[in-house]
Amino acid sequence: MAPLFHAFEILTTQYGGRGAFVSTSLPRETLVLASDCPYASVIFRKFRKEVCAWCFSYAFESGRSSWKIRVDGAGVWFCSEECKERWVDGSDRGGLRAAVNGAMEKVLGRIKSHTSAGKRNDVQSPLAHLESLQSADVTSDLLDHAWRIAGEVKPNSNPFFESELSEIDLDTAIFLLDGLCRRSIATSPLICRASRHHAHSLSDPYVSIGSWDDLLELQDNELPHTKAKPYILASYIRVYHFVKEVVVVADKSSFVPIAQYLTRLKEYVATPETIRMILARDHGNVFGIWDSAPPGEESEMLGWGLYIFGSYFNHDCTPNLRKSRCGRAMCFTTTSAVTGGDELCINYVDVSDDTTAKDRQDELEKEWFFRCACGRCAREGGVNEATSMPS
Ligand SMILES: C[S@@+](CC[C@H](N)C(=O)[O-])C[C@H]1O[C@@H](n2cnc3c(N)ncnc32)[C@H](O)[C@@H]1O
């Protein structure tokens, strides 16, 4: 069935920013949105040999311990030659991703030899205090100030530079580099023009991916996220400096077909703004990329991806929409008949019958920073329907 993106529109809700509302009645099992591939994604580095970089299939599910097909030096593995070709030729234009991934491995190698040689950067940095940042200290002004300093600081006075990155730092860097490559490649006028018009057929992959401008429209969660997890600011700034270095190294090894894209990447990282804009929309808008464990079996998260238009679906503890991953695509299908004017909602957390309103509220507040204003929570927990964290 053809996806019907024109079947819903984005309107303001009374309880939690914007939401997706159907314009006409739709039967159960209607595919309302199919995002062909994420704007940016990461397969956790620890899974890179086991998860196909193109179609996200998990070797374990095919009875194998890892995939064997790879692009030399790029740190990516594939389940088939076809997937490899699509990764190189389709989305990655002459190997931009390969150049960036290769540069990342070089920078990581350098950091490793630096730290194993026992070298330390002892210069006191103007950002050192961020390592012990407390929630109460986090304000918009503090965030602006920290990022401004991050943009000005020189590598030799920066404690985050040349230090080991944690696993999550590195995964965040991979996600960011993917987003920067997408933006760099997608500056062709055709792609930008198509992606602005939501009502077009989603058979055009660029429409369902969205553009940089579409990404910027997403809810900015920087302040609540940093308040909830103050350590994230130091991590993000560390990642910014790492990504910047990767782009510089990639540029040095650049070859003509991708030179223009690398020039754009350099512009995006010259100051922290672009990275900050992506990170502000990462937490709270992205979807986990899970393996395809059958219902009832425990599944594993393999990475995460930003499917821009899917991020407009709010949470409801009695959802009328199901999300499911089909390869790189994320699909959203109605689970009940909906009438014109209804809001389409998915569930962000477990909403099974044995959960209580308190369980769900606690999890949503902890991980998503809002109190659920849905009808079921109101009925089961006496929650005020108008209560929600500001967007
Ligand atoms: C992925 S975004 C959904 C789109 C968002 N409403 C917007 O305007 O961009 C998640 C955010 O929507 C709001 N939200 C989603 N479901 C909600 C609910 N059941 N109750 C209150 N707020 C909700 C919260 O602000 C949450 O952080």
Instruction: For residues 71 and 315, give the distance between their C-alpha atoms in angstroms, rounded to a whole number.
Output: 39
- Cα(278) to centroid of ligand 1, in Å? 18
- pLDDT, mean over the chain: 85
Verify whether ligand 1 is closer than 6 Å to residue 4 (CB atom): no
Give the pLDDT confidence score for residue 156 in this predicted structure. Answer: 54
Verify whether ligand 1 is closer than 6 Å to residue 287 (CB atom): no
Q: Is the model's pLDDT at 195 over the cut of 70?
A: no
pTM reported for the whole predicted model: 0.91
Amino acid identity of residue 267, one-letter, is E
The mean per-residue pLDDT over the stretch 178-184 comes to: 93
Q: Which residues of 137-147 are buried (b: 16+ CB within 10 A; e: fewer)?
A: ebeeebbeebb
Verify whether ligand 1 is closer than 6 Å to residue 15 (CB atom): yes
The mean per-residue pLDDT over the stretch 325-336 comes to: 93
Give the pLDDT confidence score for residue 390 in this predicted structure. Answer: 36
Q: Report the range of poorest mean pLDDT among 60-74, 154-168, 332-346, 358-372.
A: 154-168
Give the pLDDT confidence score for residue 202 in this predicted structure. Answer: 45
Give the pLDDT confidence score for residue 90 in this predicted structure. Answer: 59
Higher pLDDT among residues 354 and 123, named by residue: 354
Give the pLDDT confidence score for residue 321 in this predicted structure. Answer: 97
Beta strands in the chain (DSSP E): 8-12, 18-22, 31-35, 40-43, 69-71, 76-78, 287-290, 301-306, 314-315, 321-326, 329-334, 343-346
Verify whether ligand 1 is closer than 6 Å to residue 315 (CB atom): yes
Q: Do 308 and 205 contact (CB within 8 A), yes or no?
A: no
Percent of the chain with pLDDT over 70: 83
Q: Do 228 and 35 contact (CB within 8 A), yes or no?
A: no
Q: Is the model's pLDDT at 314 over the cut of 90?
A: yes
Instruction: For residues 343 and 26, give the distance between their C-alpha atoms in angstroms, rounded to a whole number.
Output: 12
Does the CA dihedral 43-49-51-55 come out positive or negative? positive
Closest CA to 3 of 196, 194, 287, 201: 201
pLDDT digits over 276-294, tens only?
A: 999 999 999 999 999 988 7
Does the CA dihedral 165-171-174-175 come out positive or negative? negative
Reported as half-sphere exposure (CB side, CA atoms, 13 A), residue 99 has a value of 24
> Pocket of ligand 1, candidates 370, 371, 377: which has the most ligand atoms within 8 Å of its Cβ, to mutate?
370
The full set of domain ranges for the chain reads 5-37+307-356, 40-119+152-282
Q: Measured from the CA of 373, which atom of ligand 1 is nearest?
A: 20
Q: Is the model's pLDDT at 131 over the cut of 90?
A: no
Beta strands in 15-136 (DSSP E): 18-22, 31-35, 40-43, 69-71, 76-78
Give the pLDDT confidence score for residue 385 in this predicted structure. Answer: 44
Give the pLDDT confidence score for residue 12 in this predicted structure. Answer: 95
- Cα(114) to centroid of ligand 1, in Å? 44
Domain at 5-37+307-356: CATH code: 2.170.270.10
What pLDDT band is residue 39 in, cutting at 50, 70 and 90? very high
What pLDDT band is residue 101 in, cutting at 50, 70 and 90? very high
Verify whether ligand 1 is closer than 6 Å to residue 374 (CB atom): yes
The mean per-residue pLDDT over the stretch 122-145 comes to: 86
Q: Which of 111-125, 160-174, 336-350 has the highest mean pLDDT?
A: 336-350
Higher pLDDT among residues 22 and 257, named by residue: 22
Instruction: For residues 75 and 128, give the distance between their C-alpha atoms in angstroms, rounded to a whole number.
Output: 32
Q: Is the model's pLDDT at 4 over the cut of 80?
A: no
What pLDDT band is residue 168 in, cutting at 50, 70 and 90? very high
Higher pLDDT among residues 107 and 223, named by residue: 223
pLDDT digits over 10-24, tens only?
A: 999 999 999 999 989
Instruction: For residues 230 and 296, give the distance between their C-alpha atoms in angstroms, rounded to a whole number.
Output: 35
- C-alpha torsion angle, residues 341, 342, 343, 344 (rounded to 10): -120
Instruction: For residues 64 and 42, give the distance between their C-alpha atoms in angstroms, rounded to a whole number.
Output: 21
Residue nearest to atom 15 of ligand 1 (CA): 314
- Cα(315) to centroid of ligand 1, in Å? 7
Give the pLDDT confidence score for residue 111 in this predicted structure. Answer: 81
